[in-house]
Structure 1
Amino acid sequence: MSDRVAIVVGAGGLLGRFVAAKLADDGFTVVGVDRSEAGLSELADGIRRVAGDTTDPTVAKSLIDRIAAETGQPAVLVNTLGAFTMGDALTATPEDVRLMVDVNVGAALWLTQAVVPYMQRAGSGSIVHVSARPGLEPTAGLAAYSLGKAALTQLVRVLDLELRPQGIRVNAVAPQLIDTPKNRSYFPAEVMAHSVTPEALATVIAFLAGDAAAPVSGAILPAYGG
């Protein structure tokens, strides 16, 4: 196993599994994190698994500390967590907004806070989060979701300013729509025709995480599909 450790959060989901596999192929020792043990069980052999809900800041810190102690100090953090809800601004509920913020930006902040001390000691590190096009451009009918992803986009830009001087890169990808079974159940075929596959998105994420993207930090990389 490589001494370069990559943590993939949301590894029980479709995108997370592809990212974990790609990073393992790239030579990292990969640890997959997800609250779903069933999802983690679908990871490829050789990828380590840790279960926990990282929207809780205490859990996020304890999981990162555990991984660092048992596997090694993390060189890469990829956070693929995300929650989605449809609805316009006038019908958004407090529960909608709270969920979109807790999952889409809260977990990103708690995970970053937990992993950065290890990267600071190493003087290097790479963090990649998954934003979305509605977090960059106003999108009618996705009010609460847009708020959560917009907050994540701004967080990435702030983290870049704060961490780049310490050798830590922070970037994000911003897909418009990912081709997943769940999204196919929401959207008509003509919309899904322009989605991006999780395999393709995982390749972009792995690029941002790896050494080939060493000059890149603070980027919100569009991945809008065809």
Structure 2
Amino acid sequence: MIIVTGAAGILGQAVVKELSAAGYSVAAVDLASEIADAGQGLSKTGVDLTRADAVRTAFEAIVLEAGSLSGLVNVAGGFIWETIADGSLDSWDRMYAMNVQTAVNGCAAALPYLRKDGGAIVNIAANGAVRADTGMAAYAASKSGVMRLTEALAKEELHNGIRVNAVMPSIIDTPANRKDMPDAKFSDWVSTKSLADVIGFLLSDKANAVTGACLPVTGRC
């Protein structure tokens, strides 16, 4: 069983769809009250991924029903564009909670199950965290935190049969991004399917020699 958090969102749905098509059993988890059917075998709605106890409870129920856990994809997260001069410290707290805290909680809840038979974790970082641009400070800082989480956890679990990696997309081709940047060349962006394919590779045995990597997935941006 592979757990995908943030599974009600655009990227989450794409990941669930691609993993299901590849033959994985998938459990979709989200705070939303409803998760569309993208091929998942199980769905857990109303899960506050910023709360460690809620995540542990959801994962425990999934493993109890599925019997085992072999992978986790932490898709849950958020974005904000805000300059330092006009912004608020609350935005930094919000980005930390949505991007870092959800990933930490997911990883911590999954570890006891993954240690039994081995497995893989894939986190969603961002290419924009390498060097932050205007208005990207809070978001980039939080995604940098996801990268450091990925690197540290990979080292911690190196001899426990768990691989931990992250993807670093540039601009993802979503309806929201098209609306915000209507004059952009959408074909240069990263499609959700392309990103989901890379995530699928990192979960697979073909990537069994890869851990601790933060992999840029930047299309033509």
Shorter chain as normaliser: what TM range? over 0.9
Q: Report what 1:211 is aligned to.
A: 205
Q: How do 1:156-171 and structure 2 match up within 5 A?
A: 156-171=150-165
Residue ranges of structure 1 left out of the alignment (5+ in a row): none
Taking the aligned partners of 2:196 and 2:86, their CA distance within structure 1 comes to 34
Taking the aligned partners of 2:79 and 2:151, their CA distance within structure 1 comes to 22
Q: Report what 1:197 is aligned to.
A: 191
Whichever residue aligns with residue 144 of structure 2, its letter is A
Cα offset for 1:121? 2.0
**Secondary structure of the structure 1 residue equivalent to 2:157:** helix
Q: Does residue 1:97 correspond to 2:92, yes or no?
A: yes
TM-score by length of 1: 0.92
Q: Contact 1:20/1:47 (CA < 8 Å) preserved in 2?
A: no
1:115 to 91, 110, 117: 110
- Superposition RMSD in Å: 1.4
Whichever residue aligns with residue 71 of structure 1, its letter is A
Q: Report what 1:49 is aligned to.
A: 43
Cα offset for 1:37? 2.7
Taking the aligned partners of 1:45 and 1:110, their CA distance within structure 2 comes to 25
Runs of 4 or more above 4 Å deviation: none
Taking the aligned partners of 2:165 and 2:87, their CA distance within structure 1 comes to 29
1:184 to 178, 183, 187: 178
Q: Contact 1:172/1:219 (CA < 8 Å) preserved in 2?
A: yes
Q: What does the per-residue CA deviation read over 1:137-184, in whole Å, with 9 as the maximum and x for residues that have no partner?
A: 222221111111111111111111111221100001001111111111
Q: Does residue 1:27 correspond to 2:23, yes or no?
A: yes
Q: Report what 1:37 is aligned to.
A: 33
Q: Contact 2:120/2:162 (CA < 8 Å) preserved in 1?
A: yes
Q: Report what 2:132 is aligned to.
A: 138
Cα offset for 1:193? 4.4
Cα offset for 1:73? 1.8
**Secondary structure of the structure 2 residue equivalent to 1:74:** coil
